[in-house]
Chains A and B, each alone.
Chain A
Amino acid sequence: GAVVSQHPSWVICKSGTSVKIECRSLDFQATTMFWYRQFPKQSLMLMATSNEGSKATYEQGVEKDKFLINHASLTLSTLTVTSAHPEDSSFYICSASNLDRGYEQYFGPGTRLTVT
């Protein structure tokens, strides 16, 4: 399999501040990256899809001005939660894929965000 990392693994921030989460594909070039959110005891919910060099495509109900996604290179995508509130507290997971690997998604370890 391929290796995908996320940084930080956990973060605590105050309400109203912004938080950036990084997702890196370490051993392959990811033309497409995905961002998911997972609340406790629930399944993963797809937030957005980002293709390198293009604007992200957001799923219905996900605020694009609140969850800023940048995919500036084939190995790095970032998710910025702007003006975070306690209800944004969640487990954020990214995945990476490309054509050479049959578009199979390789998942990162996740980032636990707590907004106080």
Chain B
Amino acid sequence: DAKTTQPPSMDCAEGRAANLPCNHSTISGNEYVYWYRQIHSQGPQYIIHGLKNNETNEMASLIITEDRKSSTLILPHATLRDTAVYYCIVRVVLGTYKYIFGTGTRLKVLA
């Protein structure tokens, strides 16, 4: 079973910040949170990941709550090319490192 829950869909105006929430209330202490996105009929693209501190890279920022039970991915200035399904993933260690995908959020950036 997926360890994350996300809203099924969101809209965002072009140029505005897109804030995508994710709940992972059963996350364990050594499990990372990863964010990927998938544009139609392509493989998932890595965005960012974190353990407990907030992270920022050239694509996005990741805000993780202090109790680590939820996080928010922020795309600071959304463009039409950011329209995609965004997956919040908890990386679990079960013999090997596995990703358990949830249902994701379908983000539509509107012109």
Contact = CB atoms under 8 A, between A and B. Distances in A.
What is the size category of the interface that chain B forms with chain A?
20 to 34
Contacts of B46: 1, 104, 106-107
Interface of A: 1, 4, 6, 32, 34, 36, 43-46, 49, 51, 57, 91, 93, 95, 97, 103-110, 112
B95 A57 contact: yes
Chain A residues touching B, majority SS: strand
A97 B91 CA distance: 13
Contacts of A6: 43
Contacts of B42: 109-110
Contact of B103 (A43, A91, A93, A109): A43
B104 A43 contact: yes
Contacts of B101: 36, 43-46
B41 A110 contact: yes
Nearest to A50: B96
